[in-house]
Amino acid sequence: MAIKPTYEELEQRVQALEREVLERRRVDKALRQSEERLRTITDTALDAIFCKDLNRRYTFVNPAMVRLMGCSEADLLGKVPDEVFDPQGAAIVNEVDDRTYKGESISEVRSLSIGGTPYTFHTIQYANHRLQP
């Protein structure tokens, strides 16, 4: 038969749980503030910003990327470059992705046609393996 905890032990446990709840609330608030800052930066940036998973699917695109591509966010999320760009553009994007996925940090100027209009981009891309599941 298990020994019942004393009133003092129960009181100490309740206090410990209350401290834990307060700490979680503090951490949650800090996380929300950090997410709001990041969202403000990406939403107001003039440059196209995106994230992809290891299967090359877009998992995040900012409003500048949506405007550049001339479509909705839903039209980009979950898609791979071959579904978004013409074959030549997809080949360029995939080549940069290949190098990135091998661990290379990319910073170079590239030309790419989007919807028949040529653009010149300063591409900065890197793989953050810490964010991968």
Strand partners, 50: 61
Say yes or no to pLDDT of 133 above 50.
no
pLDDT digits (tens, 9 = 90+) for 61-97: 999 999 999 999 999 999 999 999 999 999 999 999 9
Closest CA to 105 of 121, 122, 123, 125: 125
pLDDT digits (tens, 9 = 90+) for 5-29: 899 999 999 999 999 999 999 999 9
Q: Are the C-beta atoms of residues 45 and 27 closer than 8 Å to each other?
A: no
pTM above 0.85, yes or no: no
Helix (H, G, I), strand (E, B) or coil at 102: coil
DSSP 131: G
Task: Give the whole-angstrom CA distance, residue 63 versus residue 99.
Answer: 26
